Amino acid sequence: MSKRLYIQDVATRDGFQIEASFVPTEDKIALIDRLSHTGLAKIEVTSFTSPKAIPNLRDAEEVMRGIARVPGVEYTVLVPNVKGCERALSCEVDEINLVMSASDTHGLANLRMTPEQSLAQFAEIIEVTRGSGVFINASLSTTFGCPFEGEVPEARIYELLQRLLEIGVQGVTLCDTTGMADPAQVERLCREALQRWPKAVFTAHFHNTRGMGLANALAALNAGIDRFDASLGGLGGCPYAPGASGNICTEDLVHMFQRMGLDTGVNLDALLDTAASLPGLIGHDVPGAILKAGKADRRYAKPKWMQDAERENIRH
Ligand code: COA
Ligand code: ZN
């Protein structure tokens, strides 16, 4: 089989943060515990953000401490600042996923920080975490476009990647926050990033806002990316990015990769069973396609007239 791909679920963070209602803490924990047994490489459990900014994740400590961690699964949390880092460290997370924006306007709208101010926070965080063994990832929002400013120059993205890696970030997630990326852009940018920084750990993070999510994932794969964020059921979206909607759907992504003969390490049936519990949890339907259509190997009974004719033929 081909090389292993890493599937990282963000439904309980990117997904739950934008839901209209608060998902009870014990339901979050139960969902993560089910996800832990589906073969996912990583789970983004929650975020240590301001409870005023993201009230749905105000129970971050309780959730992070309440889950039953499964060896081999990495548990990460989104962190915007030093305070969030301290909270995350107190819960012994495997990874801290720092979040900043590539564009000033989204940075200010979402985090009240320009990219420069975020980088200053991150430098401090990296000092605090030195020697802790915690993996430091950074998610770069609006890499492929900003809903306020439009195009973010690619040269600016490379400059920010360079600075993130210089201050000691080990992995970077290239985020298409509001589904503005197209596959040609994704392939070009991912190829360039991998070529310039072959030792950095890159993840692709797409939203399916404009129906290009899986096409973009395929473009990233073709460029050499092997880590993908995706969200169970296709939930997700940034509450401070106008027009944001769901991430690419984890079970749809795994289904596509499996059909292509690629190794994701994920048990798709277990994932689908878990996804089927979402509408009951959040009170509405979810966008995922495979949950509705079934896997491509699903077969239906032939029309009744055909079955009758076949039966007739056997009889004669
Ligand atoms: N966790 C908990 N509380 C935090 C916090 C954190 N990481 N960071 C700040 N706070 C609290 C402060 O203690 C302060 O509380 P007080 O009003 O009771 O004194 C309050 O939040 C304001 O602090 P300040 O540092 O001035 O923050 P801010 O108002 O400039 O907001 C962020 C900055 C980053 C904390 C906030 O914008 C945020 O959490 N954004 C996250 C957005 C997000 O997650 N979007 C979706 C993901 S892309
Ligand atoms: Zn996202």
pLDDT the model gives residue 150:
98
Q: Whose CA is nearest to atom 47 of ligand 1?
A: 238
Ligand 1 neighbour 208 (Cβ under 6 A): no
How many angstroms separate the alpha carbon of residue 54 from the centre of ligand 1?
Answer: 9
Task: Identify the residue whose tokens are 């004719």.
Answer: 309
Percent of residues, the chain, with pLDDT higher than 70:
100
pLDDT the model gives residue 315:
84
Quick: pLDDT tens for 49-96: 999 999 999 999 999 999 999 999 999 999 999 999 999 999 999 999
Ligand 1 neighbour 111 (Cβ under 6 A): yes
How many angstroms separate the alpha carbon of residue 62 from the centre of ligand 2?
Answer: 23
Phi-psi region of 268 (alpha: psi -120 to 50; beta: other; left: phi over 0): alpha
Instruction: Let me know: does 254 contact 31? Beta carbons within 8 Å.
Output: no
pTM, two decimals, is 0.97
The 10 Å CB-count burial string (b at 16+, else e) for 146-180 is: bbeeeebeeeebeebbeebbebebbbbbbbbbbbb
d(CA 12, CA 32): 8
Quick: pLDDT tens for 151-186: 999 999 999 999 999 999 999 999 999 999 999 999
How many angstroms separate the alpha carbon of residue 247 from the centre of ligand 2?
Answer: 6
d(CA 234, CA 208): 8
Quick: pLDDT tens for 190-206: 999 999 999 999 999 99
Model confidence at 1: pLDDT above 60 = no
pLDDT the model gives residue 3:
84
What domains sit in the chain, N to C, each tagged with a CATH number? 6-315 (3.20.20.70)
User: What is the CB neighbour count within 10 angstroms for residue 209?
Assistant: 22
- Please tell me the number of the ligand nearest to residue 206's CA: 2
Ligand 1 neighbour 129 (Cβ under 6 A): no
Instruction: Let me know: does 154 contact 181? Beta carbons within 8 Å.
Output: no
Nearest atom (ligand 1) to Cα of 47: 44
85 given a catalytic annotation: no
Q: Whose CA is nearest to atom 36 of ligand 1?
A: 111
- Please tell me the number of the ligand nearest to residue 101's CA: 1
Q: Which residues contact 34 (CB under 8 A, 6 or more apart)?
A: 270, 274, 277
Model confidence at 42: pLDDT above 70 = yes
Ligand 1 neighbour 238 (Cβ under 6 A): yes
**Which listed residue (85, 146, 238, 249) is catalytic?**
238
How many angstroms separate the alpha carbon of residue 236 from the centre of ligand 2?
Answer: 6
Task: Give CA 23 to chain center in angstroms.
Answer: 19
3-state secondary structure the chain: CCCECEEEECHHHHHHHHCCCCCCHHHHHHHHHHHCCCCCCEEEEEECCCCCCCHHHCCHHHHHHHCCCCCCCEEEEEECCHHHHHHHHCCCCCEEEEEEECCHHHHHHHHCCCHHHHHHHHHHHHHHHCCCCCEEEEEEECCCCECCCECCCHHHHHHHHHHHHHCCCCEEEEEECCCCCCHHHHHHHHHHHHHHCCCCEEEEEEECCCCCHHHHHHHHHHHCCCEEEEEHHHCCCCCCCCCCCCECEHHHHHHHHHHCCCECCCCHHHHHHHHCCHHHHHCCCCCCCHHHHCCCCCCCCCCHHHHHHHHHHHHC
- Start-to-end CA span in the chain (Å): 48
pLDDT the model gives residue 307:
96
Ligand 1 neighbour 114 (Cβ under 6 A): no
Select from 17, 18, 49 the residue to mutate for testing ligand 1; criterion: most ligand atoms less than 8 Å from CB. 49
Ligand 1 neighbour 141 (Cβ under 6 A): yes
Ligand 1 neighbour 80 (Cβ under 6 A): yes
Model confidence at 32: pLDDT above 70 = yes
β-sheet bridge partners, residue 176:
206
The angle formed by the CA atoms of residues 205, 174 and 35, to the nearest 5 degrees, is 30
How many angstroms separate the alpha carbon of residue 55 from the centre of ligand 1?
Answer: 11
